[in-house]
Amino acid sequence: MLDGGGALDGGRVLDDGAVLDDGAAGGIAVVRVTTRAQLEQAWQVRLEVFVEEQQVPVEEEIDALDTAASTTHVLAVDASGAVLGTGRLLSDPAHPGEVHLGRLAVRAAARGRGAGARLVVGIEALALAEHAVVDGADALAVTVELSAQEHALGFYRRLGYELLPGERYLDAGIWHRDMAHRITG
């Protein structure tokens, strides 16, 4: 199993970094991005999935939020350190207890192995640990919102997300719906 994340070389994690989930349950670890090299690896996964596969214009995929101080990126890596997928967590200090999960992408060769679900669970844990507020029952809680591509609605429903009121909408030429899940701990 991995004991750290860090700089990446040839798609493998090399340096020490923050491991959010060691992957013991399924051989897929979720690692917090802490270096520019890791961020570039996350971008590479997103370019493969969104730009090459789904034809999203590159100028719409990589944005200023990627390097904002309030953004956290994660990588899913296998036991050998190969990068399987990525996701990002957006927060806004003006909206405590609310975050946005986005840019969730898993390489085609890694799909069906649970990497996407591991990324969501890792991002939720990060959201709860760093962005939760005390709710009415004196428990910590955070609401994780996302913009789901319509073909992925079932995936997110299986992970506890529910559709928010509102119509479907086009984002980068792909139909989306907003969803949310309240996480408590």
Domains and CATH numbers, the chain: 8-184 (3.40.630.30)
Q: What is the pTM of this model?
A: 0.86
C-alpha–C-alpha distance, residues 72 and 64, integer Å: 13
DSSP sequence for 125-159: HHHHHHH-EE-TTS-EEEEEEEEEEGGGHHHHHHT
74 exposed, middle or buried (CB, 10 Å; 0-12, 13-18, 19+)?
buried
Render pLDDT for 5-62 as a digit per residue (tens, 0 to 9).
343 333 334 344 455 555 555 689 999 999 999 999 999 999 999 999 999 999 999 9
136 exposed, middle or buried (CB, 10 Å; 0-12, 13-18, 19+)?
exposed
